[in-house]
Structure 1
Amino acid sequence: MSTETARVPSPSEQGIPPQARRVAWAVIAGLVAPVLDMTIVTIALTGLSRDLHAPLSTVQWVSTGYLLALAVAVPLAGWTATRFGSRAAWTAGLGLFFAGSVACAASWNIGSLIAFRVLQGLGAGLIMPLMTSILVAASGGVALGRMVAMVSLPTALGPILGPVVGGVILNWLNWRWLFLVNVPLCILALILARRIPSDKTAGTRLDVPGLLLLAPGLIALLLGLSNAHNGIGRADVVVPVVIGAVLLAGFTWHALRTSGRPLVNVRELRRRSVTASSVGLCFFGIASAGVMLLMPLYFQQVRGDSVLQAALLLIPQGVGALATRSLAGRLTDTIGARWVAVTGFAVVALATVPFAFAGAHTNTIWLMVVLLVRGFGLGTLLSPVMAAGFMGLPGAARHDVSMLTRAFQQVGGSFGTALLAVVLTAGMGAGTGFSDAFWWASALAAAGAVAALLLPDARAE
């Protein structure tokens, strides 16, 4: 008997078929490096500017280029998995990410680093959307909430642990190790990728017109949002956002009218569960990625903590997210997604409010307790909101829904980051920047709780 089948399943794995658990662990291994990499590099931007003799405005493209490349690859992930099989698409994404990581570590100037970060982003863009569709196929719809909870560990902890890992590396090593740390993780993930079933569908043609509309549309929209921290009325914000909106509208028109298979079947949004899941993940992106802009800045700029100290103070939020993810998965499978997600958003909203009142001398222990509670809320969110979109879904639609929900989550994270950056900047002159931004963050999480009322409340079969 194998070690995998002989060992006793952990509480988070109970109720999940053994073969599905094996696939879930392969997915977890593949997610760790890309999720950490989305945040681990942000802490090093100032150091990169110094070491590579480049202005900070140029170095920012190390992060921006990665995110934009990820946006390009997301629409392609579904077609790649359908045409070549999920295992092949997953392995290709890991291979690109692995090659990009090695190349980034060997970069000789800022231009080469940005180019290799784009390669990393393309790999991550193939991996991230396939997570859910692979889980749905492996589980057959059984215990989907627990499956999502099981693999949500990297997704939940990445934004928290990324800056911590980055701070620790930079404290003792140089910036190249931010990328070399991915190498053993990618090798392990490539080995475990053999567990992922291949589900190749022959004869699926690439929707080239759709790709030419959707990929640049997402890029333009995210680029405009990423520039919004300097003000929303600027040309470098308005022009890309308008172009992106027009291109995305054009893709929607194309997808609804084409006689062939569109790159992403937007008709799936006619399902209430898919629309509710997509909107919920948009608000999840705001609640997680958006606020992660504010927290480190608050500790550094208001309280005077170092980068590493600020990262370490955020650990309780990650601990809270870890503590509740298994319970959230079980509750999703038992009572449905709606009230689990509503509770999660409500906890996040309430636990953000104390930061609106916090100042330079607010008790650190109190803030860490608040962060722990906020982590409880974040850990409760991902399982119900993500799983809801796949409850009762035909197997043929899983790749399309994976692309849609991932795109909504990514746009939500970018929108939340941009909006909170604008509010923060606008209030700095009056000394209310952080207070205003945290109030906005709390209100947006409360809006997420309202949106979560649209999620299905029936038990996942």
Structure 2
Amino acid sequence: MTKQGAGQAGVGQRWTAPQRWTLAAAVLGSGMAFIDGTVVNVALSALQRDFGADVGSAQWVINGYTLMLAALILTGGALGDLYGRRRVFGLGVLIFAAASGLCGLAPTLGTLIAARVLQGIGGALLIPGSLAMIDAVFGDALRGRAVGLWSAATSVVTVLGPVLGGVLIDLGSWRWVFLINLPLALLVLWCLRGVPETRAAGEGARRPDLPGAVLATAGLGALTYGLIQAGERGLGGSSLLIAGLGVAGLAAFVLWEARAPHPMLPLGLFRSAGFAGTNALTFLLYGALGAALFFLPLNLIGVQGYSGTAAGTALLPMSLLLAGLSGVFGSLADRTGPRPLLTVGPILAGVGLAWLGFLGVGRPYLTGVLPGVLVLGLGMAITVAPLTSAVLGSVSADYAGTASGVNNAVSRAAGLLAVALFTLLMLGSFRGSLSAQLAGTSLPLTARAQMLGQSGRLAQVPVPDGLSDAQAAEGRQAVRLAFADGFRQVCLWCGMLAALGGLVGFLSLRGAGRGRQGGGAGENLHEPRGEEIRAGQAAPGRR
């Protein structure tokens, strides 16, 4: 039967019970992880307020999760291939659920961060397994439809995630953002009872690169920690030493991958100009997106006065554009090749990010936030699907799964490092601006000094007790204006990084046509690029 005939036969073909259970488990499990990858940004202001934390400490609530995903997601996929996808997926769900319970009950910020690290380990086991189980259980005639349903369902879940998180924060507590995972996890485990076990055959079942995973985790973790410490203490001393150790760890990771018998990151793939270029584009664009979307909810809640629900809803137009137009631009890329779209898309996204930097204080949503969100969403909708095609088309079919996994890890690592680096920029700008703003107020010198001493809390800097109502209002306005100044600097730099990604796409894909490079044929359905960003948030984030 021809490929077209097989596809037509699959339209009227009934699914078996194992196939239905597999799709349900994959959608619910990956949706649970995707929600937690996006919704915590909305909860960050509430976390800061409840724990009295500065932004450097609070961002580890996001970074701990992202770090584990970036470093371990390739290892999680390899473990599933070797020991059984259903088994490793189920283990990931159990770890994720246990960690979610710890997050929801965490008495201290340190406990919450540790639980988020554990949650990231669970996510690294279950996220790659969701589509791997679908790929293994559904035949060629039904696989496309199953993956399409998975993509649509997880997109809807992830689109609504920040809105749901905002509602839970406003009606109850940020703790419910995590505790809601417990009944979801039980439902996933119940569905897993009907999922058959599958493993990779032959050379596909290679042993995981555990030394590579350790080196990647240590290198990324130390570099991120050093950058965050530099924001609090300045670039020097222990901060510089720790960041240097992180760079050394990442260099050791590259050296190991060049010699490892079964590397998690096959360096030979980067000999393809298309693969190297698309991953450089990914790093620049998703780093810019992750950093800007880390600070945007802090701005909306702490500066503009939005509720959690309103902040979660503010990015919904971007999510809808991604969900509605990604397929259109994916089809267009099939006809024209990815180069034009991967030039225009990131540049448009950069314009949207730069626009968001000029929110100021008290600007209406319709003229302040919405235009930037719409331009950013259009840029990302133009980019996401063609980027997937370009990554997969830059290598032979035999390496498509590895290429997609590497690109996924690159996007998460970009968000992780960009948030740390731009926090350094934000804190420096905020402190300088706050000092200047306070100098023009009637606050006593002691009150100004107290506020500057807590500048690490950014928009959550408290106004000292004992001031008059007028002075307290002046102090709060100084904090808002200082944050707006820092946010503008962050967004302008993020916009330039995203636009630079468009230039990289233009230059690196000059010879890229509409077909696959390397002479391979066929498709790979593991880990399509953009499963989180489709819905408008990163680490954070992707990112």
Contact (CA 8 Å) 1:356, 1:435: kept in 2 or not? yes
Q: Which stretch shifts more, 185-194 or 25-34?
A: 185-194
CA deviation string 1:337-374 (max 9, x = no partner) = 32222232122122233334443354421231331232
* Residue 253 in structure 1 maps to residue 255 in structure 2: yes
Q: Which stretch shifts more, 300-309 or 273-282?
A: 300-309
Contact (CA 8 Å) 2:352, 2:371: kept in 1 or not? no
Q: 1:271 to 1:189 in 2, by over 3 A?
A: farther
1-structure distance, mates of 2:134, 2:337: 18
Q: 1:150 to 1:272 in 2, by over 3 A?
A: farther
What is the deviation of 1:272? Answer: 2.9
Letter in 2 for 1:457: G
Partner of residue 280, structure 1: 281
Contact (CA 8 Å) 2:66, 2:416: kept in 1 or not? no
Partner of residue 151, structure 1: 151
Superposed, 1:120-269 pairs within 5 Å as 120-129=119-128, 151=151, 154=154, 158=158, 161-190=160-189, 198-201=198-201, 204-227=206-229, 229-230=231-232, 233-235=235-237, 237-258=239-260, 260-269=261-270
Q: Which stretch shifts more, 314-323 or 183-192?
A: 183-192
What is the deviation of 1:60? Answer: 4.9
What is the deviation of 1:246? Answer: 1.5
Q: 1:286 to 1:173 in 2, by over 3 A?
A: same
Contact (CA 8 Å) 1:48, 1:175: kept in 2 or not? yes
**Per the alignment, in what secondary structure is the counterpart of residue 367 of structure 2?**
helix
Contact (CA 8 Å) 1:335, 1:459: kept in 2 or not? no
Correspondence for 1:434 among 481, 484, 487: 487
* Residue 443 in structure 1 maps to residue 496 in structure 2: yes
2-structure distance, mates of 1:427, 1:66: 27
What is the deviation of 1:112? Answer: 4.3
**Per the alignment, in what secondary structure is the counterpart of residue 360 of structure 1?**
coil
Partner of residue 101, structure 2: 102
Contact (CA 8 Å) 1:28, 1:154: kept in 2 or not? yes
Q: 1:97 to 1:164 in 2, by over 3 A?
A: same
CA deviation string 1:298-345 (max 9, x = no partner) = 334543434443333232222222222221332233333322222321
Q: Which has the larger radius of gyration?
A: 2
Partner of residue 336, structure 2: 335
Contact (CA 8 Å) 2:226, 2:239: kept in 1 or not? yes
What is the deviation of 1:80? Answer: 0.7
2-structure distance, mates of 1:352, 1:34: 26
Identical aligned residues as a percent: 26
Aligned residue pair count: 445
1-structure distance, mates of 2:220, 2:488: 31
1-structure distance, mates of 2:502, 2:230: 26
CA deviation string 1:399-455 (max 9, x = no partner) = 532442122111211233234333333333346423322221211111111122224
Q: 1:25 to 1:275 in 2, by over 3 A?
A: farther
Partner of residue 91, structure 2: 92
2-structure distance, mates of 1:132, 1:451: 30
What is the deviation of 1:139? Answer: 9.1
Q: 1:335 to 1:81 in 2, by over 3 A?
A: farther
Correspondence for 2:514 among 451, 458, 461: 458
Q: 1:418 to 1:212 in 2, by over 3 A?
A: closer
Contact (CA 8 Å) 2:66, 2:413: kept in 1 or not? no
Letter in 2 for 1:127: L
Partner of residue 305, structure 1: 306
2-structure distance, mates of 1:197, 1:320: 37
* Residue 347 in structure 1 maps to residue 348 in structure 2: yes
Partner of residue 36, structure 2: 37
Q: 1:343 to 1:132 in 2, by over 3 A?
A: farther
Partner of residue 292, structure 1: 293
Superposed, 1:41-56 pairs within 5 Å as 41-45=40-44, 47-48=46-47
Contact (CA 8 Å) 1:85, 1:201: kept in 2 or not? no
2-structure distance, mates of 1:324, 1:197: 35
Contact (CA 8 Å) 1:210, 1:262: kept in 2 or not? yes
Q: 1:231 to 1:109 in 2, by over 3 A?
A: closer
Partner of residue 115, structure 2: 116
**Per the alignment, in what secondary structure is the counterpart of residue 331 of structure 1?**
helix
Backbone CA RMSD of aligned residues:
4.0
Q: Which stretch shifts more, 395-404 or 334-343?
A: 395-404
What is the deviation of 1:36? Answer: 1.7
Letter in 2 for 1:345: P
Contact (CA 8 Å) 2:167, 2:308: kept in 1 or not? no
CA deviation string 1:13-32 (max 9, x = no partner) = x9xxx99x977776443322
Contact (CA 8 Å) 2:56, 2:231: kept in 1 or not? no
Partner of residue 69, structure 2: 70
Is there any run of 5+ residues in structure 2 with no aligned partner, and where? 1-7, 434-481, 517-521, 523-543
Letter in 1 for 2:367: W
Letter in 1 for 2:328: L
**Per the alignment, in what secondary structure is the counterpart of residue 174 of structure 1?**
coil
What is the deviation of 1:76? Answer: 1.8
Correspondence for 1:413 among 415, 418, 428: 415
What is the deviation of 1:181? Answer: 1.6
**Per the alignment, in what secondary structure is the counterpart of residue 333 of structure 2?**
helix
Q: 1:407 to 1:332 in 2, by over 3 A?
A: same
